[in-house]
Amino acid sequence: MADHGDWRPPRPCEAYRAEWKLCRSARHFLHHYYVHGERPACEQWRRDLASCREWEEHRSAEAQRSLCESERARVQAARKHTLVWALRQSPPADWHLPLPQEEKDQ
């Protein structure tokens, strides 16, 4: 990160603005509250937007560090969520047989 002459933010500043705007929308608020039972945290998107703009205007090393850390944390958070269902390697052996309810109806 020392040579930041050709460094670019991980996303365009417009992407951070769009994410912040979406996060603050009523629809997203209702969906997030329904799913997670809490208000969405939009502050990080606002900080990322400010850092991106600071980088574009002044090439600030602090803004560069902030964006890199934020994206790294976002990737780590996405990795910690595992699949709920175990994926099958092959179908069940009796997949072609009628279901028990279908047997009763006949």
What values do phi and psi take at 95, rounded to 5? -65, -25
pLDDT of amino acid 106: 62
Do residues 79 and 16 make contact, with C-beta atoms less than 8 angstroms apart?
Answer: no
* CA-based torsion, 10, 11, 17, 18: positive or negative: negative
CA dist 39 and 29 (Å) reads 7
pLDDT, residue 16, reads 95
pLDDT in tens, the chain (106 residues): 545 567 888 899 999 999 999 999 999 999 999 999 999 999 999 999 999 999 999 999 999 999 999 999 998 988 887 777 888 899 989 999 988 876 566 6
Residue-level pLDDT at 2: 47
Give the predicted TM-score (pTM) of the model.
Answer: 0.69
Q: How many CB atoms lie within 10 A of CB 106?
A: 5
What is the residue extent of each domain of the chain?
13-78
